[in-house]
Amino acid sequence: MSNISTLLLTNSKKDIYNYIVEKLWDKSSDGFQLSLLNDFERPLILSQMLQDSINGGGINSFFYNNAGKFAYESLKALEVIGALEVVAIIKEAIEIFPEQPIPEDIEICRNIMEMMPDENKIDNRWNELSNEFYNMDDCIIEVTLSYVKQNEDKFFLKPKRESKL
């Protein structure tokens, strides 16, 4: 039985989730070196970056901060993990962003957002979507743990070596 299987049997789901995310944060240098994660680990950190950003200030915060440069990749990560209810929320948030595609350059993204009027339909809808998102924590934990269990042999491998070309 693997370490993950043992964890899944002996701890609360939230504790297990936090443990896995903490290990992946460490492996990726707090998300600054996503290239050190394998294809199965990366979706978890992208999902966590999205969650941290939205939980810290709503969907506006996600697009305004560094996590927003991964908007499309985060959406794909949620799909891979199986958080389909959350996918619907984030997909709509992305679709109503004032410029398509959303710029990966965070400064351009911020400038677009800062030019939006204080009271506007997009911001109001983002607030509604944020409220929907806040009710999804348990869903995200459940689907993430299911994804990890299905792929447990793929986690916590040694970091990939960057090729030196």
Containing H/E element for 19?
helix 13-27
| Residue 11 pLDDT exceeds 90 | no
pLDDT at 163 > cutoff 50: no
State the average pLDDT over residues 30-52.
93
Residue 93 has pLDDT above 60, yes or no: yes
Q: For residue 18, count CB atoms less than 10 angstroms from its CB and return exposed for 0-12, middle for 13-18, buried for 19 or more.
A: middle
Residue type, 109: C
Residue 150 corresponds to which tokens in the numbers above? 């299905």
- 33 and 41 in contact (C-beta within 8 Å)? no
Average pLDDT over residues 102-120: 93
What average pLDDT does the segment 84-99 reach? Answer: 97
Domain spans in the chain, listed from the N-terminal domain onward: 38-151
**Are residues 121 and 103 in contact, defined by beta-carbon separation less than 8 angstroms?**
no
